[in-house]
Amino acid sequence: MNTATRNQQARKVTIIGSIFDFILGIGKVIVGLLFHSHALIIDGIHSFSDVFTDVFVVVISHYSNQEPDEEHPYGHEKFETLGTVALGAILIATAGALMFETSARLLSEKEAIIPGTPTLVIAVISIIVKEALYHYTRYVGEKINSKLIIANAWHSRTDAFSSVVVLLGLIITQFGFVIFDDIAAFFVALFIGKIGWDFLKESLGELAEQSLDLKRVQEIEKTILNINGVKGCHNLRSRKMGHKALVDVNIEVDQYVTVSEGHEISSWVAKILKENFDDIEDVTVHADVEDDTDGQYHHSFEDLLPLRDKVLEQLLKSWYGLNVFEPNPFVKLHYIGSKINIDLMYEAGTQLAFTSNDLQYKIEDVKWLGEVVIWKNS
């Protein structure tokens, strides 16, 4: 699904939800005021908070779905994560204020009035409408793979659940237990805070570069190991970024493959992961000839093996007088663990006054030089 379509669907479902939230909010507050239900008034405030968050979602979705640019080369999906954090914080703050106000009412000695029958009717209507909005919004959120839209869907369901609590409280008040109206209001506020904390906790984990879940990582590793040319993998790391995922991995290839073949295998790893996992947006692959996290291969930056110029300098010094480089061979260097193996490639028919054993003997005192093999092209 392209960005424009995704943004359009996110905006459409959110605007539809905000219209119903506004109508329900007005209805609950007015009926609550006229027929003496504090719980219904708080439920109405909850609906108005939905309107605010709906507008917030539209704005955040617009920015999070923009294409990558110079300042945001990985895209703008973190705006969606930040939006979900803000949404969770708003719900927690709203819940705290409502719980404080409701607690004060419960401790007061004001004469309570039994709420009127219309409060029951508006509570039932709210349950039906908000549950329908939840299913519709969640369907769209999963379709476009947007955590923000799914979070907003659950916000709609909190309104449905809170209306259920309000309805139960109102039913009990009809039998004279008026205090249950305020008790219902308190539990609605508590439930709002719980949902807000769930949103906040998950999104903060994402901002802290939290990995994909273990099962997902294991599926990715299994896919990599089934790719032709991959002998193993390590340092498999993943992180979430909005509705996308980024993956870094070191693959292990045969120690004598060419650089170009190793690069091609790496490209296939990236291609297959992106094709098999819809949420993976970008894959960074590094090709190794061994598991360099293993103790026998691992070395610090201070212990790095020398590059070609230093290697040739050492070989010229060690093989001085043997005329090894007079026929101008092609020198292949193979960095294997803590050693550098050397292939000397000569043209067919080249006459040599030395053998591999002769050369090997001359470099025995150089710790990082490994095997020497002489090749002649046919």
CATH number of the structural domain spanning residue 73: 1.20.1510.10
Query: Which residue carries 């992106």 as its tokens?
Result: 274
- Inside any domain, residue 235: yes
- 100 and 163 part of one domain: yes
- 196 and 323 part of one domain: no
Structure confidence at residue 311 (pLDDT): 93
- pLDDT score of 34 more than 70: yes
Tell me 255's DSSP state.
Answer: T
User: pLDDT by residue (tens digit) across 35-64?
Assistant: 888 778 877 877 777 777 777 767 766 666
Number of domains in the chain: 3
Structure confidence at residue 338 (pLDDT): 83
* Coil, strand or helix at 236: strand
Structure confidence at residue 84 (pLDDT): 75
Distance CA 88, CA 91 (A): 5
The full length of the chain comes to 378
Tokens of 328: 């101008």
Counting other chains too, the contacts that 152-156 makes at CB distance below 8 Å and 24 or more residues apart are: 152/14, 152/17, 152/53, 152/54, 152/57, 152/87, 154/195, 154/199, 155/50, 155/53, 155/87, 155/91, 155/195, 156/17, 156/21, 156/50, 156/130
- Inside any domain, residue 130: yes
Residue spans of alpha helices (H) in the chain: 3-34, 38-64, 78-107, 118-143, 147-173, 179-207, 214-225, 259-276, 308-318, 356-362
- 203 and 120 part of one domain: yes
Q: For residue 361, give Cα distances in angstroms to 168, 303, 322, 370.
A: 91, 24, 12, 11
User: Would the pTM count as exceeding 0.85?
Assistant: no
Structure confidence at residue 364 (pLDDT): 86
Distance CA 119, CA 178 (A): 13
CATH of the domain at 246: 3.30.70.1350
- 332 and 249 part of one domain: no
> Which residue, 207, 223, 256, sits at the end of a domain?
207
pLDDT bin (cut points 50, 70, 90) of residue 6 is confident
The closest of 105, 93, 100 to 193, measured between CA atoms, is 93
Cβ–Cβ contacts within 10 Å for residue 57, how many? Answer: 29
Is the separation of the CB atoms in 196 and 96 below 8 Å?
no
Out of 118-132, 284-298, 300-314, the most confident range is 118-132
- 147 and 195 part of one domain: yes
Cβ–Cβ contacts within 10 Å for residue 133, how many? Answer: 24
- Inside any domain, residue 295: no
Q: What is the per-residue DSSP string for 126-164? A: HHHHHHHHHHHHHHHHHHTT-HHHHHHHHHHHHHHHHHH
Is 46 or 253 the better-scoring residue by pLDDT?
A: 253
Structure confidence at residue 224 (pLDDT): 95
Least confident of 58-72, 129-143, 259-273: 58-72
> Which residue, 207, 229, 254, sits at the end of a domain?
207
Average pLDDT of span 148-158: 76
pLDDT bin (cut points 50, 70, 90) of residue 151 is confident
Least confident of 32-46, 160-174, 283-297, 331-345: 283-297
The closest of 41, 43, 16 to 31, measured between CA atoms, is 41
pLDDT bin (cut points 50, 70, 90) of residue 273 is very high
Can you give the residue range of the structural domain that contains 349? 301-376
> Which residue, 234, 256, 288, sits at the end of a domain?
288
**Mean pLDDT over each residue of the chain, to the nearest integer:** 82
Is the separation of the CB atoms in 311 and 340 below 8 Å?
yes
- Inside any domain, residue 293: no
